[in-house]
Each structure stands twice: as structure tokens, then as C-alpha cells.
Amino acid sequence: MGVIVYCITGKKKHMLSVFRKIQYYRNHTQLRPVSGERKKQMNQTDFGLSKETCDGVIFDLDGVITQTAKVHATAWKTLFDTYLKTRAARENQAYIPFDADKEYRTYVDGKPRYDGVESFLKSRGIDLPLGNPSDDLSNETIYGLGNKKNEIFNTYLQKQGPEVYEDTLSLMYEIKRQGWKIAVISASKNCIPVLEAVGIADWFDTVVDGVLSQKLGIKGKPDPDIFFEAARRMEVTANRTAVFEDATSGVSAAKKGGFFQVIGVNRADNESILKKAGADVVFSDLCDIRINDRLPVRKKEMASLPPALDHVQQILQRAKDRKIALFLDYDGTLTPIVNDPEKAFFEPGHPAERWKKWPKNGWWPSSAAETFTTIQNFCKLDNIYYAGSHGFDISARQICSEMQKGKEFLPVLDKARVSWNKNPDPYPGCGP
């Protein structure tokens, strides 16, 4: 009898984390062979990665791993259009808006923020002083415009959140699983927060971002310094390291640095431009890259998965006679997220009520900070295996197991609870 495991959570980041851990403990590879027909559809039928020639892989962040390049382009356009319109009116000149496609890729994409400001303005014949790092837009300096762009970017990012490219995640997982070291580079100072937001910050052996570059005095693209630093931290050489880049400045930098393979990532129908910049190969879909003559298994985008609570019957049909193990998140899935745990309950018509109609011979593990009795009374189900107190204990009708190591932290948690009860304001989103 087989076992099907479902992780039901309202948090996409948690879902990705669980998926990653389940995949990690697979005993065998799940790569699909490359068929002859599939090879015909691939961008480069003779290209693949092999540990015989490559020890490390460097991925650019924006446009390769995450779709934040679109957010960056929008933020740059908002900044430059506002400034150019004001300047044109003041100097009685024609207003020509910023081209978020051509001018973004030519003067801004892949470069440190202040270099991007200076590069674009010079292309328009505008010469501004550098200014001070604390300047805002009112100062009309390179720093002032750059700081305003970062403010606009963060506002957009908070509203819509970052998204990841499915093909890159699939490729990175297989590369990492097969033993390569991987790094992520970015001119952005928001790199680590973005990686944390999408739940993959721990995938990389090293991160070289705008913060570290400023600290170490690393030159931005098209100089290859940022790639050299990533390779150095991975303890690999440039001539045995592959680089994935979607920006022409990044492609040129990696090529200039003599890296083993420079793979252009074509996200904007600019294959010819990437090749002209020096890309050895160009791919629109990174799942077309062979790994030992096999292709990575494409992982479904988390955002595209249908809500599990709305498809109970389909799940039951798929499971058939197999035993079902359900891992149910508590806050946000079983109950609404509320400040007072006593007020957490199924609202009338809440989809979670459907779990009560499932067969009684299934397993019903639940994970939460609440007590076993609380959850059992709340759900009114007899066959619950409770893994709670954030992993410190597991309880059921006939078993009770406590994590002894976890007991050492209970006084700290109790102290935190008292602190939250006295003054919860400094901790938005947190509760006792």
C-alpha cells in the first residue's frame, strides 16, 4: 500500500520549503531522458552541464531567478519619467519618457543603482553631481535619484511580492542535488530580502549582492569583479564556473572574466543581443539544459497550484486505496489568523470544514503552537497526530513524545510570551 503525503498550508513560502525537503530525501534521481523530438525543440541540442568540466554555477538574481527585473524596470521608469517631466517643464524642453525596454537594458539593467542613474542621464546629455549617500530626490543628485528609485522599488515589491522563474528553480535544484556549488549575484541591495521572501535563501553556497559589493569596493558590471568574488567564495576557478545572465552588461562581464560558459537567459526576446554581448549559448527555458544527457523535471509553480481545500474529491479519487497522510498548517489554513487564539474558529462555510468529511482511517497530523487538546476540541476529530509547540512535542491518543532538547528553550519562549502580553506593539504580526 502506497502513502500519499499532502502538505496543506496557506503560505506559499512554507509550501516551497516543504517541497524542497521532500525532494532532498528522494533516494533516486527523477530526471527525464531527452527524447529525439524534444532535442529538436531545444535551443542548443549539444549543450549541457557536466561535473567533469564545471565545479560551480553562478546565477544572476533579477531576470534569471526572480521576476523582479520587471519591478525594477517599472521603478526606474517611474523615477526617470517624473524627473524628466519636471526638468523639461523647468527648462522649456520637449519631454521624452524613459524607454523601459531598450533604455533599461542598455543603460541600467545589471548595473549598481547609482551607476545606472549616471549612465542613463549621460545618454540624455544630463550631468548631475554625485551628491551625498543620504540625498533624496529634492537634492537633484545621482545619489538622490538612486535613493528615490530604491524607495519606489520597495513600495512596488511590498504590494505585489517577488515571483520566481519555475525553470530556474528546477535547474538549480538538480544542479545542487548533483553536487555543484551555486552562488547568486546581484547589484541590488535588496537581494537577500528577496531570496528570503521566496523561501530560497538557503539554497546558495554564497551570495554577493550590492551590500557586500559596496563594503568590499567591488566594481559593478560590465567589470567581472562580482563574478570573481562569487567564484572565490565558492573556492572554484573562473575557467570551471558557468554563469547564467539575462543582462547584456552581465554577459559581457562574465565573458570578459574568462568564465567557462556564459549562458544567456532570454526573458525578453533578445537572443541576438545576448549573443552579441558574448553569450556562448542562449536559452529561453532553462529546463532545456541537459544534465548528463537528461532534462530537469519541471516543478509546478506554487502560484499555479489549485487550492487543495477546493479539490477534496479529486484528491480522494487520486489516492484511491492508498493511505493518506495530511499535514495541516493551523494558523491561516485551519483557522483565520487572529491575535487572540481563543477567537480562532471555522467561519460558516469555511473550506476547512470539508476535512471533517474525510474517511476516518486516514492520518490527520496537525502542526501548530496550540495544545493537542485545543486542536482536538476545535476540529472534533479523534484521529489527529499533533506535532505542536513548534516541533517540541508530538501527541495522540496513545502516544506522547517530547523533544528533550526543546525543553531548554521553554523558559525563553515563556519570557517572550510575557513580553508580548505586556507590550505587543513593537512586534507587528506577532502574538503570544
Residues 267 and 333 in one domain: no
96-131 pLDDT, tens digit per residue, is 999 988 898 889 987 888 999 999 999 999 999 999
Kindly give the residue spans of alpha helices, DSSP state H, lying in 42-184.
68-90, 102-103, 113-123, 142-160, 166-177
CA distance 404 to 406: 5
Is residue 112 one of the residues assigned to a domain?
Answer: yes
pLDDT at 123: 95
Residues 126 and 250 in one domain: no
Residues 234 and 285 in one domain: yes
Q: What is the CA radius of gyration of the chain?
A: 26
Residues 174 and 288 in one domain: yes
pLDDT at 143: 94
- Closest by CA position to 381, among listed 333, 334, 314, 331: 334
CA distance 236 to 228: 10
Residues 153 and 166 in one domain: no
Q: What residues in the chain have per-residue pLDDT under 50?
A: 1-6, 8, 10-45, 301-303, 360-365, 367-368, 431-432
pLDDT at 156: 83
- How many CA atoms within 13 Å lie on the side-chain side of 28? 3
Is residue 25 one of the residues assigned to a domain?
Answer: no
Phi, psi of 111 (to 5 degrees): -95, 155
Q: At which of 233, 265, 295 does a domain end?
A: 295
Is residue 10 one of the residues assigned to a domain?
Answer: no
- Asked if residue 237 lies in contact with residue 231, where contact means CB atoms within 8 angstroms, the answer is yes
Q: What totals of helices (H) and strands (E) does the chain contain, helices first?
A: 15, 16
CA distance 254 to 58: 10
Is residue 27 one of the residues assigned to a domain?
Answer: no
Catalytic-labelled residue, pool 46, 55, 60, 202: 60
CA distance 15 to 299: 13
Is residue 246 one of the residues assigned to a domain?
Answer: yes
Residues 188 and 274 in one domain: yes
CATH value at residue 266 = 3.40.50.1000
Point out which residues pair with 324 in neighbouring strands.
Answer: 4
In sequence order, what DSSP letters do the residues of 173-237 get, joined into one string?
Answer: HHHHHTT-EEEEE-S-TTHHHHHHHTT-GGG-SEEE-HHHHHHHTPPPTTSSHHHHHHHHHHT--
Residue 60 known to be catalytic: yes
Residues 122 and 187 in one domain: no
Residues 270 and 181 in one domain: yes
pLDDT at 83: 94
pLDDT at 382: 62
Amino acid, res. 337:
I
pLDDT at 235: 97
Point out which residues pair with 48 in neighbouring strands.
Answer: 290
Residues 229 and 171 in one domain: yes
Q: At which of 160, 182, 206 does a domain end?
A: 160
Cell of 341: 487564539
CA distance 336 to 245: 41
Cell of 280: 556562448
Q: At which of 160, 192, 227 does a domain end?
A: 160
- Asked if residue 226 lies in contact with residue 245, where contact means CB atoms within 8 angstroms, the answer is no
Is residue 122 one of the residues assigned to a domain?
Answer: yes
Residues 58 and 193 in one domain: yes
- Closest by CA position to 306, among listed 297, 298, 315: 315
Phi, psi of 184 (to 5 degrees): -125, 135
Amino acid, res. 227:
F
- Asked if residue 43 lies in contact with residue 274, where contact means CB atoms within 8 angstroms, the answer is no
In sequence order, what DSSP letters do the residues of 316-375 get, joined into one string?
Answer: HHHHTTSEEEEEEETBTTTB---SSGGG--PPTT-GGGGGGGS-TTSBEEEEESS-HHHH
Residues 62 and 82 in one domain: no
CA distance 271 to 285: 12
Cell of 421: 502580553
- Number of structural domains found in the chain: 3
CATH value at residue 151 = 1.10.150
Residue 62 known to be catalytic: yes
Residues 133 and 227 in one domain: no
Is residue 133 one of the residues assigned to a domain?
Answer: yes
Is residue 369 one of the residues assigned to a domain?
Answer: yes
113 contact partners, CB below 8 Å, separation of at least 6: 146, 149, 150, 187, 188, 189, 210
pTM: 0.56
Catalytic-labelled residue, pool 62, 167, 329, 331: 62
* Structural domain boundaries, residue 199: 43-67+162-295
